[in-house]
Amino acid sequence: MTKKLFYLAVFCLLVIPGRAQKTENIILFAMDGMRWQEIFGGVDSVLMEDRAFTQERKQMRKDYWATSPAERRRRLMPFFWDTIALRGQLYGNRNLGNDVDVANPYKITYAGFSEVITGNPDSAIKSNALVIDKNTNVLEVIDSHPAFKGKVAVFSTSDLFPYILDKWRNGLYVNSDTDTTESPLLNRMERLTAEPTGERPDLLTYFAAREYLLSHHPRILYVALGETDAYAHMGSYDQYISVVHAEDAMIADFWATVQSMPQYRGKTTLIAFCDHGRGGAGTKEWTDHGDKIAGSGNIWIAAMGPDSAPLGEVSRPEQLYQGQVAATIAALLGIRYTPPQKVLPPIESVYK
């Protein structure tokens, strides 16, 4: 299906007629530049054995290797495969013909995260420069509703997010990179960290978001992690894999925390995604992405919640785009999302 057909399918009102949604809260997790190959197949044996990319080969074999892709992926991401795969939905296994792609032409971080949250693959966004995204985003539309006012928050490792969301225009709470938090301990840890990737460590971003959840009880909380992309660009496959495993554990811990709170239990949908893909399996181009790198547009989406049927690993042939996430978020909440820009339609199977 072409992108033109998707635009023809855009709804005037993104609501779900005749069906009350159970979702009252949404948790979003982004894993920057996380390849679909590891999501669905676990560690890449070629990259694992390549001395140029993997220093701790023996330890990686011990921790993550298995003969079957199903066991490898479960070892790498147990929450995805022991929980989401049983109770939710996983899209993007291209080996099964289930394709998820970016719709923007550049396949870079700013363009990808803009597409996710605005629904518009804006061809004017050509770089990761710190410039304002002029597109309306679904979070500010949700925040404009009285029931959600002041109940939307974003925590990111990258310093791009204040610009992608234009927090100065809409007043959204966006805590990124060097921003302080309400926790003196986390602020001290951030001041003292070595920042090996040049940005706030994902663990501090995670705990800042978790503490905010416990103290402020937001309705929409977006956590954008960045170390997967950073270590991939460094060419460190063992560190990339370690981060993938750690971020799976962070999402698991966050979900357990959410389910322990009456406000969220049984009323919350989790959506996880990335912003772009990378070079393909077993290739030296796995470290990079962009319009000149094959495979950079190949991505994945995961969803789990009270309105999402337990489809597991979706095997039907279809074509989805990351730009559909914005409309899906609105549809889950029964909120109209009719911004000035054209947007891609929601993924109906997430909420029907």
167 touches 187 (CB < 8 A):
no
Instruction: Tell me the C-alpha distance between 147 and 255, whole Å.
Output: 23
Residue closest to 108 by CA, chosen among 93, 119, 122: 122
Residue 187 lies in a domain: yes
pLDDT at 16: 43
Q: Domain range for residue 153?
A: 3-14+25-350
Residues 16-34 as b/e (b if ≥16 CB within 10 A, e otherwise) read beeeebebbbbbbbbbbbb
Residue 96 lies in a domain: yes
| Chain segment 200-232, per-residue pLDDT in tens | 999 999 999 999 999 999 999 999 999 999 999
Residue 277 lies in a domain: yes
| Chain segment 67-80, per-residue pLDDT in tens | 999 999 999 999 99
306 band by pLDDT with thresholds 50, 70 and 90 = very high
Residue 315 lies in a domain: yes
Residue 166 lies in a domain: yes
Residue 304 lies in a domain: yes
Instruction: Tell me the C-alpha distance between 334 and 24, whole Å.
Output: 10
Average confidence score pLDDT of the chain: 94
Residue 19 lies in a domain: no
237 touches 53 (CB < 8 A):
yes
| Chain segment 254-290, per-residue pLDDT in tens | 999 999 999 999 999 999 999 999 998 777 899 999 9
Residues 6+ apart with CB under 8 A from 183: 207, 208, 211
| Chain segment 11-64, per-residue pLDDT in tens | 333 344 445 789 999 999 999 999 999 999 999 999 999 999 999 999 999 999
Residue 296's CATH number: 3.40.720.10
Number of domains composing the chain:
1
Residue 263 lies in a domain: yes
